[in-house]
Amino acid sequence: MCVHIGRSTEVGTKGAQRKPSGEARQLASSPESKRGARTGYFLARYVDLEGRPRQAGRFKRKGDANRASLEKVNELNAQRATPGAARTMPGAVLTLARWHEIWPLRVRRDERTITTNKHRVSKYVIPHLPEQGRIPVGDLTRGMLHDVQVALLEAGYAKSTIDGAVSSLSAVLGYAMDEGRIETNPAYRMRVDPDDPLLNPTRDQRQRRYIPPDEFARFLRHVKPQHRAVCLAPLVSGCRTQELFALERSDLDQKRQLVFVHQRARVLGGDANDDAAFRPGLKTTKGVRRKSKEECGRWTLFPAVLSSAAPVRLHRRLIFPSPTGRVWGQRNFYRDVWDPASAKAGTSFTVYDLRHTFTSHLLANGIPTVEVAAYVGHSTRQLGDLDNTTTRVYQHPTGEYREAALEAISGYLAQLDTLRRASAR
């Protein structure tokens, strides 16, 4: 199907009544602006089957935005051309599994909302229902959902994960109620009891491991270019996830290739101009209120290659802002950046594994334990050194091994570059 790319004449003045044409159409991509300034991204725009302007995402390159909007238009028109794609036969029994397939075609919701709800219900709820959800949607009971909760608790899932999955199911069933397909919503306001004895099970501690260059290179190939710097940062700086999201440009010493880490981002992220989005001090800092900024933090490596790979300056304060110029939320980062790349690359390591790799690589290259401990914010005892009065009182980092540490990190990065060139041949 060939779709002309150009400015649409169908979209009139703001508030004008639009007549559905029954066919989705592509609109020309447009530059995204925030507070009157362009962000460097393009919006993939299209008109849906009901004549409403929509967006299929935001992209660094205009060509990618046009392709995304074209794919969305073709998908919508293909659904329109399929008889009964979003309908059920009169008198037919509608199962929960069938409703889970068609509800995205029956309601108008943001793409991210649809993706999140489908993922949660498919992964956490339907596998634990009778007959894999192939039961009449009206026969679903609250007792069945309690059994789902128990199964997830026994599998070791957290309360927040289970509550989120049931909340998504509640939204999906709410759409069924709106169409009169069910009378009540059994998942409405259903939550795991905070005092449930199955909560907080004893779980084996995850064993951290060293990530070899070939495995990390495979992962990095599937990360979008604008996100590669933040994914590379824990490997070359040893920062924790929330420390990365809170790094500020004013704390960067490009000449010495160091950065001062003194705060953490809130788990949910927030407005980069609001101090409430940050927590002063680090994980191991004690008595934050009685200490200055210099006493709450530490210096760690920030190689020049990381500065050059940092994203477009979306915010004057943060080194690694989100694509919208805000503080990254941890869940958003994993959902939008880390997990998709891991799935495509077939890797399973975490951000903390890269921090472990940073530490292991420096120690293997002869950097003294006390120097490495200073970079990652650990005590020498945590790194396995003999803990005695001499090391506790008299052993302190001198900074003399900074060049050697940067050289060790450069050796790891050189292997990544070699692997990238080999794969490109």
26: left (phi over 0), alpha (psi -120 to 50) or beta: beta
Angle at CA of residue 13, ends 9 and 16, nearest 5°: 100
Which residue range(s) make up the domain with 288? 213-424
**Residue 16 above 70 pLDDT?**
no
Report if pTM > 0.85.
no
**pLDDT band at residue 289, thresholds of 50, 70 and 90?**
low
pLDDT at 359: 92
* CATH code for the domain of 286: 1.10.443.10
**Residue 410 above 60 pLDDT?**
yes
Would residue 208 count as lying in a domain? no
Would residue 280 count as lying in a domain? yes
**Residue 404 above 60 pLDDT?**
yes
Poorest-pLDDT segment among 19-28, 243-252, 389-398: 389-398
| pLDDT (average), residues 21-45 | 82
| Average pLDDT score over the chain | 81
Cβ within 8 Å of residue 190, ≥6 positions away: 142, 145, 149, 166, 170
Measure Cα distances from 396 to 32, 131, 345, 355, 408 in Å. 49, 63, 41, 21, 21
For residues 221 and 334, membership in a common domain is answered with: yes
For residues 219 and 153, membership in a common domain is answered with: no
**Residue 8 above 70 pLDDT?**
no
From CA 65, how far away is CA 52, in angstroms rounded?
18
For residues 236 and 360, membership in a common domain is answered with: yes
Poorest-pLDDT segment among 152-156, 179-183, 389-393: 389-393
In sequence order, which ranges of 57-193 are alpha helices (DSSP H)?
A: 62-81, 96-106, 111-120, 142-154, 159-178
For residues 66 and 106, membership in a common domain is answered with: no
pLDDT at 393: 39
Scan for tokens 């460097």, then name that residue. 40
**Domain tally for the chain?**
3
For residues 18 and 62, membership in a common domain is answered with: yes
pLDDT at 111: 78
369-381, pLDDT tens digit by residue?
888 888 888 764 4
Q: Do residues 140 and 146 lie in contact, with contact meaning Cβ atoms separated by under 8 Å? A: no
Domain final residue, candidates 82, 102, 128: 82
From CA 317, how far away is CA 156, in angstroms rounded?
39
Poorest-pLDDT segment among 157-166, 240-249, 364-373, 378-387: 378-387
Sign of CA dihedral 279, 285, 289, 292: negative
For residues 250 and 373, membership in a common domain is answered with: yes
314-325, pLDDT tens digit by residue?
678 899 998 888
For residues 267 and 405, membership in a common domain is answered with: yes
* CATH code for the domain of 190: 1.10.150.130
pLDDT at 215: 92
For residues 93 and 238, membership in a common domain is answered with: no
pLDDT at 199: 80
Would residue 28 count as lying in a domain? yes
**Residue 423 above 50 pLDDT?**
yes
For residues 154 and 246, membership in a common domain is answered with: no
Cβ within 8 Å of residue 365, ≥6 positions away: 404, 405, 408, 411
**pLDDT band at residue 187, thresholds of 50, 70 and 90?**
very high
**Residue 1 above 50 pLDDT?**
no
For residues 316 and 418, membership in a common domain is answered with: yes
Q: Do residues 59 and 65 lie in contact, with contact meaning Cβ atoms separated by under 8 Å? A: yes
pLDDT at 12: 38
Domain final residue, candidates 203, 224, 247: 203
Measure Cα distances from 288 to 241, 267, 291 in Å. 20, 19, 5
Domain final residue, candidates 65, 82, 99: 82
From CA 71, how far away is CA 29, in angstroms rounded?
13
| pLDDT (average), residues 95-107 | 86
pLDDT at 386: 43
Please give the backbone phi and psi of residue 327, each rounded to the nearest 5 degrees, phi first: -75, 130
| pLDDT (average), residues 130-145 | 91
Supply the angle between the helices 228-237 and 351-364 in degrees, to the nearest 10. 40
First vs last C-alpha separation in the chain: 34
For residues 98 and 240, membership in a common domain is answered with: no
**Residue 94 above 60 pLDDT?**
yes
333 vs 54: which has the higher pLDDT: 333
**Residue 385 above 60 pLDDT?**
no
For residues 220 and 171, membership in a common domain is answered with: no
| pLDDT (average), residues 237-246 | 92
